[in-house]
Each structure stands twice: as C-alpha cells, then as structure tokens.
Amino acid sequence: MYSNDKDFKSELLHAIYDSFTDKEFEKNWTSVFMMYELQEKQWLLGLFDEREMWVPAYMRHLF
C-alpha cells in the first residue's frame, strides 16, 4: 500500500538499517509510525513485536 511512496520507503529503511542501537531504532520507527499514521496497521505492529529477530540494531552483539 505504501510501496509507491518513496518518502515512506526511505524513512522506513532508514529506521531499520541506519539505527545503531535498539533505542535509536525504536525512536525512528515511532517517528515513521506517527508521520504516516500507521497506529492501526496490525501487520506493522506485529513486525515491531518481533523486531529482535530481524532488525540489525538488535543483532549487532552477535558479530
């Protein structure tokens, strides 16, 4: 639904890949959520709940 919105995609990718700490990711993710009014999107809330399994900032200690 937002795949054609370059700004959304850029903001989301920034939150995911350019956040170096878990706190920074959560701040950036929340910012994108609020900016695009995504509070009711359950699939994104589900992704956030599982963030420790796929967000690089949570896996940095493994390398």
- pLDDT tens for the chain, residues 1 to 63: 555 678 888 999 999 999 999 999 999 999 999 998 888 889 989 999 999 999 999 998 776
Per-residue pLDDT at 4? 61
User: Could you tell me the two tokens for 19?
Assistant: 């956040």
Position 18 in a domain: yes
Per-residue pLDDT at 34? 93
Q: DSSP strand E in the chain: where?
A: none
Per-residue pLDDT at 3? 58
Domain span at residue 40?
6-62
| Domains of the chain: total | 1
* Alpha-carbon span 46 to 63, nearest angstrom: 26
DSSP-derived letter for residue 18 is: S
* Alpha-carbon span 53 to 40, nearest angstrom: 22
Position 54 in a domain: yes
Per-residue pLDDT at 60? 83
Per-residue pLDDT at 20? 94
Position 20 in a domain: yes
* Alpha-carbon span 2 to 54, nearest angstrom: 20
Position 11 in a domain: yes
